[in-house]
Amino acid sequence: MRGFLSGISVLAVVFFCCAVSVSAQDIRRQEEAKARLEKEIAILDQQLAANADRSKDALTQLSLIQKKISNRKALIRQSDRQIRIYSDEIYSTQRQINRLQAREDTLTDYYARLVRSAYKNRDAKIWYMYIIASENLGQAFRRFSYFKGLSAQMKEQAKEIRAVQAELEAERSRLQDLKKEAEAIRQQRKTELASLQSEEAQSAKVVTQLRKNRTRYQKELNAKKRQVEALDKEIRRLVEAAMKASSKGKTGQQIDYKLAEEFSANKGRLPWPAEGPVIDHFGQHFHPVFTRLKLPFNNGVTIALQKNAPVKAVFDGVVKQIVVMPGYNQCVLVQHGNYFSFYCKLKTTTVRVGDKIKTGQTIGEVDTINGETQLHFQIWKNQTPQDPEKWLR
């Protein structure tokens, strides 16, 4: 029976250890996600600071603030998840402590009975007389074995009690650590909530500023629209020229369909060209304040970056063109068979037209234009723009 109970205890400990391991992995994943969000918020703070005295860039400020608010809410959700994980771990640890405490009580009680039995038979003469008084040899042997094993049982029981007490102490210490960590997360959550309230107030202030200056903003939006249209027209021209050159079979310019297949097969798994928060997504969007006002259609994504951040190729390919565009500075077009990736707002480039490049190879360094350190990135299939976020991992 004792062996069976010991087996159950071992299984319980194994199950508990596995549960702790899973919880530790969950906490590690949550920490990694929080670190990424915090890094993005730091980048956004840098850009907001750079634009602090540029009152005309109210829309840019609003976009950055709204992304910060989004990240801040995500951080709070991560904190909530972590608090739930810690609560589960605290509950599991407390249950383990209760089991160990019960085990210790059982062992201690049994040990006390052994001690009492040993005390009653502490005189060797009593042991001797008890054995001599046996009715037969078998009974005498059993009584002799009992007295001989009593001391060994007491030693073994004492050893097991010490082991359980050590484990119990370790679990109690772990419980205290978990409670401290959970409290730290709760305090961090309070800080995040305070930051969120401040950012929402900042957002409301910028919204008021935009509403007061709608006419001026409309002019700026029209200028931005012209820049976007010029970029779109240039990309279409470059892609069309590359496709025509390939279709005519010019030496070294044929479409690499194998490369195109590999590019297509990696949809959703391509590396990001740079690390930072996406502040402008693909597609048609409306103004966040003047909700009926359409913003220029975005054929790609805009990623906020740290100053001088490196920009890397998302896949193997060939550099087809490097052009300079108003509002976008240097732009690099890379061909991947009948797919193209386009990298804009570069200060410097480290590649030349005709270069064969590899996935992850640095192609340039991001520029800071009017206080904005941002990469504009696009993916095209033939002459159709794609949503980059569906291609990147």
For the stretch 326-371, pLDDT in tens is: 999 999 999 999 999 999 999 999 999 999 999 999 999 999 988 8
d(CA 327, CA 27): 43
Number of other CB atoms surrounding residue 48 within 10 Å: 18
Provide mean pLDDT across the span 184-192: 91
First to last CA, the chain: 55
Number of other CB atoms surrounding residue 299 within 10 Å: 22
Distances (CA, A) of 290 to 39, 224, 293, 355, 372: 31, 16, 6, 45, 23
Query: Does pLDDT of 23 surpass 70?
Result: no
Beta bridge partners of 280: 302
For residues 229 and 221, the answer to whether their CB atoms sit within 8 Å is no
Helix or strand holding residue 269 (H, E) = none
d(CA 23, CA 76): 19
197 Cβ contact partners less than 8 Å away, ≥ 6 residues apart? none
282 Cβ contact partners less than 8 Å away, ≥ 6 residues apart? 298, 299, 300, 301, 385, 386, 387, 388, 389
For the stretch 266-275, pLDDT in tens is: 999 999 999 9
In the chain the domains, ranked by start, together with CATH numbers, are: 2-211 (no CATH), 217-390 (2.70.70.10)
Number of other CB atoms surrounding residue 151 within 10 Å: 11
For the stretch 281-290, pLDDT in tens is: 999 999 888 8
206-225 burial string, b = 16+ CB within 10 Å, else e? beeebeeeeeebeeebeeee
Query: Does pLDDT of 5 surpass 50?
Result: no
